[in-house]
Structure 1
Amino acid sequence: MSFKITNTVTWVGKIDWELRSFHGEEYSTHRGSSYNSYLIRDEKTVLMDTVWVPFSKEFVSNLKNEIDLKKIDYIIMNHAEPDHSGALIDLMKEIPDTPIYCTKNGKDIIKGHCHEDWNFVTVKTGDTLDIGKNKLTFIEARMLHWPDTMFTYYNGENILFSNDAFGQHYASELMFNDKADYDELMQEAIKYYANILTPYSSFVVKKIQEVLSFNLPVDMICTSHGIIWRDNPSQIINKYMEWAQNYKENQITLIYDSMWNSTRRMAEAIAEGIKESNKDVVVKIYNSGKSDKNDIITEVFKSKAILVGSCTINNGILSSTAAILEMMRGLRFKDKKAAAFGSFGWGGESVKMITEELKEGGFEIINDGIKEKWRPDEEGLKRCREYGKEFVSRL
């Protein structure tokens, strides 16, 4: 399958309708994904990125139907992660001498994955490649989200090939943002940012400011996953700037796991107290043992404060609670407040342990949390409701 994007650019990627997890099992892809690769035809022909390894042979076969492979003059690898570089081994068997343009880190990573020493040409910000009437300009985008990442700007059609930045795991034959379902698109875009780019937000701001300082007209942003931005592409740039600057909405999210529903009852009572005290705040509750972890992380990203709960088990906390806390620690959220809650039978260490994990994750701890012994009775639930009122009053 190929799809003409503009007069000179053709999409030659792969839509992965069946994909349900990414990065191993770390990222849920409810709506599938795509691996976007592009052909640019000027006096010279350029291939921009490839596809994931499972689709490598299919990619090369389809590419042969689109073009004589020997007519590809240059290959641009904006990012060396295997979902973009996965078809290189099969492709380079066909055209082994074709130069591969990438950053120095990109060369090292591709060699580390493929164990081949191809004809690499390393580039840095400001380097250009003349392809005939037009040229490509390379812009390093280190840590967005790997050390090798770069953008490529094509002046012939004012296109920014942004690789992972501004993308989404979203399978759609509609291709463009003005055709796709806007709500689905933005949900997948914010989920992608929250779960993948949050730790690199300071880099996002600096890189966007740098790109804007070049005063390059951008009529289209061609990402490497999901939908292409052609209708007002600056909207996703503006969203990234908003998301990158300690983003939060008027939302509080409660995350818990429970053995015998005691901690669940606490979560619901705390939420009732929050709503009684502040009817305008959005309150969401998730069982971390039953809900999708990446969807939970997206809600944490949107929240100004969170509460995390678990009963005590074996002098510790339930495994799903530990896992979501570890994810949050790695994402390094900024300017968010938090507290812990949980039920116990005899030890009661969970609240203290969760509090320490939240502190390690960069959250501002509101108080020492609340714990209830065994199954909370009406008095216990009342204490939880009062706790919810106190919590929201301190935000």
Structure 2
Amino acid sequence: VISNHTEMDHSGGLSRVMHRIGEDKPLYCSKMGHKNLSKHFAQKFNYHPVENGGELKIGKRTLSFMETRMLHWPDSMFTYAKEDRILFSSDAFGQHYASLERFDDQVGEAIMPHARKYFANILLPYAPLILKLVAKVREMGLPLDMLCPDHGIIWRKEPSKIINAYVEWSEQKPKRKALVIFDTMWHSTEAMAETIVEALGDEGVEAQLLKLRASHRSDIITEALDAGAIIIGSPTLNNGLFPTVSDFLTYMKGLKPQNKVAAAFGSYGWSGEAVKLINQELEATGFKVIDPGVRINYVPDEEGLKACRELALKIAQELPV
């Protein structure tokens, strides 16, 4: 048995497999995999930790192992079957996609949005490591007929297509695109959001209006992958942020998106902390906050909406042409 990854969606059936074939049978894994698996399973399996670059001969086949630490756990590794020219890539190049078909050429282009969403929500924090890994794999010149991730379909028609896509997504080059992400209590913050989106569109920016109670955070993060600007809006609630906004900011910060400018806006009744708190989270995420933000007491009037349009213009000037 070869274990490329310890996480339970990969190793959850290991006890049953080892019981079926015999717990004395060899179990190959990375050194960190040995450490992690022994913390997950009480049985004393016959572990064989492998070296990075090590090989295993099994009959007519040769398997080689490549450590891929933090893609996306410390124990992760790839296994390459030399004679078959197959790379078993664990979580990398996967998708959360259920299909009756097994291969990319049987599914077509419909698979790419799922692969992009998977990358954005699982592997994005490790984008710098992915670029180094892809460079290393290309340098090794491994012949590759098939790329087999542990989730979703298998890439056999054109494995290089998903590899090239990973490079593009990892580079996170910003487009002239902005996401206006918000939630609202009595529609005042919503009116501000709509004004900002309209003004961004007037400046030739691809602007999306994303209300958090109607848009799943994983879909928003996928759209954020190539966005040049993130604008967050929230009313002040109990001296803090609206819960859906707080949730999204926490989720986004953990994924560490890069190369973005940002700004905040929101309405309030009497205390008005939301914009300040949003700015703190945006800065903690690593974004360039380009404006103190727009705060409007209760319902926006024409002067308040003008401030929203001015914020949009300032954002547009920061984006690539």
TM-score category of the 2 structures, normalised to the smaller one = over 0.9
- TM superposition shift of 1:124: 2.1
* Structure 1 partner of 2:312: 388
Task: Give the alignment's TM-score, normalised by structure 1.
Answer: 0.78
Q: Which aligned runs of 4 or more in structure 1 are off by greater than 4 angstroms?
A: none
Extract unaligned runs of 5+ from structure 1.
1-74
Structure 1 residue matching 2:144: 3-state secondary structure: coil
1:136 corresponding residue in structure 2: 63
2-side partners of 1:386 and 1:340: how far apart? 13
| CA distance in 1 between partners of 2:87 and 2:173 (Å) | 25
Q: Aligned AA for 2:269?
A: G
Superposed displacement of residue 238, structure 1? 0.7
Write the mapping of 1:335-374 to structure 2, written as runs, cut at 5 A.
335-374=259-298
Aligned to 1:106: 33
Aligned to 2:97: 170
Partner of 2:170: 244
Cα distance in 1 for residues equivalent to 2:173 and 2:89: 22
Partner of 2:25, secondary structure, is: coil
2:74 partner letter: P
User: Does residue 186 of structure 2 align to residue 256 of structure 1?
Assistant: no
Q: Which runs of 5+ in 2 are unaligned?
A: none
Letter in 2 for 1:206: K
1:210 to 136, 154, 162: 136
2:300 is matched by which residue type in structure 1? P
SS at match of 2:207: strand
Q: Which of the residues 222, 228, 244 maps onto 1:304?
A: 228
Q: Report the equivalent of 1:186.
A: 112
Q: Following the alignment from structure 2 to structure 1, what is the Cα–Cα distance between the partners of residues 121 and 293?
A: 26
| 1:377 Cα deviation after fit | 2.4
**What is the SS of the residue equivalent to 1:188?**
helix
Distance 1:119 1:325 in 2: 44
- Cα distance in 2, alignment partners of residues 303 and 105 from structure 1: 36
Question: In the TM superposition, what is the alpha-carbon distance from 1:134 to its structure 2 partner?
Answer: 2.2
User: In structure 2, do the counterparts of structure 1 residues 289 and 238 end up closer, same or farther at CA, with 3 Å as the change threshold?
Assistant: same
Structure 1 residues 237-280: Cα deviation after superposition (integer angstroms, max 9, x where no partner): 111111111343331101001111110110000111111122xx
| Structure 1 residue aligned with 2:249 | 325
Question: Normalising by structure 2, what TM-score?
Answer: 0.96
Structure 1 residue 121 and structure 2 residue 79: aligned?
no
Contact preservation (8 Å) 2:95, 2:152: yes
Matched, 1:377 2:305: no
Aligned residue pairs total 318
How far does the alpha carbon of each residue in 1:122-161 deviate from its partner, in whole angstroms, 9 at most, with x for none? Answer: 0122100111222000000000000000000001210000
8 Å contact from structure 1 (residues 136, 153) kept in 2:
yes
Structure 2 CA distance for aligned equivalents of residues 213 and 78 of structure 1: 22
Q: What RMSD in Å do the two structures reach over aligned CA positions? A: 1.2
Task: Specify the alignment match of 2:155 in structure 1.
Answer: 229
In structure 1, what is the Cα distance between the partners aligned to 2:79 and 2:117?
24
Give the one of 76, 87, 92 matched to 1:160: 87
Check the 8 A contact 2:200/2:206 in 1, yes or no: no
Counterpart check, 1:291 vs 2:215: yes
Higher relative contact order (CA 8 A, sep 6+): 2
* CA offset digits 1:344-372 (Å, max 9, x no partner): 11111111110011000101111111111
